[in-house]
Chain A
Amino acid sequence: MSVKLTTRQVGDVTVVDAVGRITLGDGASTFRDTVRDLAASGKKKLLLNLAEVSYIDSSGIGEMVSGFTTVTNQGGQVKLLNLTKRVKDLLQITKLYTVFEVFEDEAAAVRSYS
């Protein structure tokens, strides 16, 4: 199963709910296109809800980093919400846990945006 992404607005924060696998091929490109489209349409406060993401490979990680860089360079912020243990392990192995702000509570995450 590839990834399914749906977006919703909570105040001025755009929450992206992801379900499935973010891997090379459809999953990673869907993820990349969605983040780029949101950034292009002026959505600069993105919260990626990964609670239902079962699997991310290095391509998926790469797209997350790329999206982070794109949005940050445009003056926006990308933060992560509800990581599964497996995704958290992956971010720790790759040291990206130090790059992304990670939250377990959506309300707290939404409040954290400047």
Chain B
Amino acid sequence: MAEHDRVAAQTVEELLDSTLESVDQAEEIVLRLATTMGFDEDDLHRIGIAVRECMVNAVVHGNRYHSRKKVHLSVSRTPERLEIVIGDEGGSFDVSKLPDPLAEENLLRQSGRGLLMMKAFMDEFQVRQRQPQGTEVRMVKNLAKAG
């Protein structure tokens, strides 16, 4: 852990295409940084799923695979926390109006579980409107809570 404690603050920013390949790319970028911080295997798995779910939302629902729209990825690490911001250039949406995937009547719906998984796997989760357009999701995983 001593080595991980000395990890310097770092931010990586990438502009990604609206493709499913970008989902893999974003996961790789985030996990590369998270690994240097000393997160255990289970937390790396949770962070990876949260990033994939968020990227899929940005590519599929936000940018709708549009070739001229980009996904904005920013990953910042400090010795204590990993912050991930993923923004798309699509429309905005009201999280509170999405169906509750845990409601009895929604349990057998095919989709709608992505946000639930991101919230469950990360310590902080926020959705906000991105300027000039689109949606931005900010997620944080604290190293102190790892494991």
Contact = CB atoms under 8 A, between A and B. Distances in A.
Interface string A81-114: 0000010001001111011000000000000000
Interface in A60-77: 61-63, 65-66, 68-69
A94 B102 contact: yes
A58 B112 CA distance: 8
Interface stretch (B49-57, B63-71, B74-82, B128-136): B49-57
B12 interface: no
Given A55-B45, A93-B120, A99-B107, 20 more contacts: A23-B52, A24-B23, A24-B60, A57-B52, A58-B53, A58-B113, A58-B114, A58-B117, A61-B113, A62-B110, A62-B113, A63-B110, A65-B107, A65-B109, A66-B110, A69-B108, A94-B101, A94-B116, A95-B102, A96-B107
Q: Would you call the interface of chain B mostly helix, strand, loop, or mixed?
A: helix
A14 B21 CA distance: 34
A46 to B, nearest CB: 16
Given A25-B20, A57-B52, A57-B56, A93 B116 contact: yes
Q: Would you call the interface of chain A mostly helix, strand, loop, or mixed?
A: helix
A95 B113 CA distance: 11
A24 to B, nearest CB: 6
A77 to B, nearest CB: 15
Interface in B84-116: 101-102, 107-111, 113-114, 116
